[in-house]
């Protein structure tokens, strides 16, 4: 039987893959596993639940709330809020766990359910496996006073806004910022907090109707933000995804600033102020080579993890580091957040522009972006990537030719018989040429 939990909770097409029945059973099982410590102390477990504005979130949130309350959990319904807000509020309320109903950057018909453990941290695989096992068993449900209350978390948004403003190193007075909310969960909070921080705010993509989330706006569709920044002569633009755990930016020229560039700028800023723990940045193997070289030049160590913000988080927590993230715009500030927070990231990058009195375009010069070419090779035996000698010889030949000005990365897909070939080089032609050559070797050597 396939595992229900994926890399970031349970996700699928709402009302097909992710039904009311599954949502209720998942909530009941989570109540058993994640409420265990509270019940052992003779207390009712507490849970915070939030959602993004997609239409299916309404019935899924109702189903999850019913499943939790029917299992003896007191539920605090925070309504429409970003994923990092739900994580923060879980910790701030000292709840036993949190639940977020969202499919992040996916289109509106999809949805998902993800859980946060006490303190607002993502669940380890072991807890997810226990929840799945509990779903298959018989659940003894309480009656009478044993059931839980469902309460509207009335000041949830205000608590989160105060938290974000408290994380700012300086105000944003004098900055004109375009904020693109992807018609998602950031639509209420992000414009408010940027304005409260002193910025002049132009808002786009902040009219969610339940069906338009991520549609033509947000971090996966940056052209609208680029146009708005140029049209309004703004200092910069900030783009979130549907649940606002990501942030990408646009400089005053309309050029895109990705997660690697954002991390480079913020790592240098934190180091300058003595706030970069152990002079270390945590990134994934997919981060641009330019990030690693820029950090090396600045005396900052880069620790690489597998792709996925959960692995970045694990490394940050185990090593006590301050900053980490992904090229996609998941950026984690461990002092202020337990997960990627797109609004916090946007505030931090805007604050650095204000503090330094340098345009974002100038700040990005701290890192040279190397051309990065990705070729997917389907229908191959991905288990033999590291053992096929002909393939490894081809990789070694490419790396020798690039002699320190590029790199080759082969990644097996986690869900299908597919290998991803990524090549970076000083110029795009060289990167494309080597990526195509190695992809042909993968196809020839590993064909099923």
Domain spans in the chain, listed from the N-terminal domain onward: 10-154, 174-366, 372-446
Q: How far apart are CA 61 and CA 183, in angstroms?
A: 19
Q: Write out pLDDT tens, residues 105-154.
A: 999 999 999 999 999 999 988 999 999 999 998 888 999 999 999 999 99
Q: Do domains 10-154 and 174-366 have the same CATH topology?
A: yes
Q: Write out pLDDT tens, residues 44-60.
A: 999 999 999 999 999 99
Q: Write out pLDDT tens, residues 81-119.
A: 999 999 999 999 999 999 999 999 999 999 999 999 999
Q: What are the catalytic residues?
A: 104
Q: What H or E segment, with its residue span, contains residue 291?
A: helix 289-297
Burial (Cβ within 10 Å: 0-12, 13-18, ≥19) of residue 369? middle
- Residue 149 CA, distance from chain mean position: 31
Q: Would you identify the CATH topology of the domain 372-446?
A: TATA-Binding Protein (3.30.310)
**Structure token pair of residue 43:** 């207390």
Q: At 28, give phi and psi (nearest 5°).
A: -60, -45
Task: Give, in words, the CATH class of 174-366.
Answer: alpha beta
DSSP, collapsed to helix, strand or coil, labels residue 145 as: helix
Mean pLDDT value across residues 320-349: 97
Mean pLDDT value across residues 237-261: 98
Binding site feature residues: 104, 241, 243, 245
Q: Would you identify the CATH topology of the domain 10-154?
A: Alpha-D-Glucose-1,6-Bisphosphate; Chain A, domain 3 (3.40.120)
For residue 415, pLDDT over 80 is answered with no
Binding site feature residues for Mg(2+): 104, 241, 243, 245
Identify the pLDDT of residue 347: 98
Residue 187: name the closest of 309, 342, 48, 49 by CA: 342
Q: Write out pLDDT tens, residues 393-404.
A: 999 999 999 987
Identify the pLDDT of residue 6: 84
**Structure token pair of residue 41:** 């102390």
2 confidence band (pLDDT: 50, 70, 90): low
């Amino acid at each position: 039987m396939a595992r229900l939990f994926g890399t970031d909770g349970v996700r699928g097409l709402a009302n097909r893959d992710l039904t009311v029945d599954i949502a209720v059973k998942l909530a009941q099982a989570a109540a058993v596993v994640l409420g265990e410590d509270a019940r052992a102390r003779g207390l009712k477990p507490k849970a915070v639940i939030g959602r993004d504005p997609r239409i299916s979130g309404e019935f899924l949130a109702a189903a999850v709330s019913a499943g939790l309350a029917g299992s003896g959990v007191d539920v605090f319904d925070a309504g429409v809020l970003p994923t990092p807000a739900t994580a923060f509020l879980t910790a701030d309320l000292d709840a036993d766990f949190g639940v977020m109903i969202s499919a992040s950057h996916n289109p509106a018909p999809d949805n998902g359910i993800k859980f946060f453990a006490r303190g607002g941290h993502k669940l380890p695989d072991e807890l997810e496996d226990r929840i799945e096992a509990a779903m298959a068993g018989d659940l003894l449900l309480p009656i009478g006073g044993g059931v839980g209350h469902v309460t509207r978390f009335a000041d949830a948004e205000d608590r989160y806004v105060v938290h974000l403003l408290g994380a700012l190193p300086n105000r944003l007075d004098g900055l004109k910022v375009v904020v693109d909310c992807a018609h998602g969960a950031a639509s209420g909070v992000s414009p408010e907090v940027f304005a409260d921080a002193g910025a002049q705010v132009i808002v786009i993509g902040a009219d969610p109707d339940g069906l338009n989330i991520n549609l033509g706006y947000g971090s996966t569709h940056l052209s609208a933000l680029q146009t708005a920044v140029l049209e309004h002569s703004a200092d910069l633009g900030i783009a979130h995804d549907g649940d606002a755990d990501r942030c990408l930016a646009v400089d005053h020229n309309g050029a895109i600033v990705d997660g690697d560039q954002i991390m480079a700028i913020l790592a240098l800023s934190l180091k300058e102020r003595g706030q970069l723990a152990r002079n270390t940045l945590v990134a994934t193997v997919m981060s641009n080579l330019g990030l690693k070289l820029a950090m090396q030049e600045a005396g900052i160590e880069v620790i690489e993890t597998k792709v996925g913000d959960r692995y970045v988080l694990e490394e940050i927590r185990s090593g006590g580091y301050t900053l980490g993230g992904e090229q996609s715009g998941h950026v984690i500030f461990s002092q202020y957040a337990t997960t990627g927070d797109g609004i916090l990231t946007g505030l931090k990058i805007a604050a650095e522009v204000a503090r330094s009195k340098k345009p974002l375009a100038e700040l990005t010069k701290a890192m040279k972006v190397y051309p990065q070419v990705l070729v997917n090779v389907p229908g191959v035996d991905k288990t033999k990537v590291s053992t096929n000698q002909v393939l490894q010889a081809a990789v070694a030949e490419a790396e020798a030719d690039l002699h320190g000005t590029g790199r080759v990365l082969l990644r097996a897909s986690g869900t299908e018989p597919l290998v991803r070939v990524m090549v970076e080089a000083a110029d795009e032609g060289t990167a494309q040429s080597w990526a195509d050559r190695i992809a042909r070797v993968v196809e020839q050597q590993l064909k099923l």
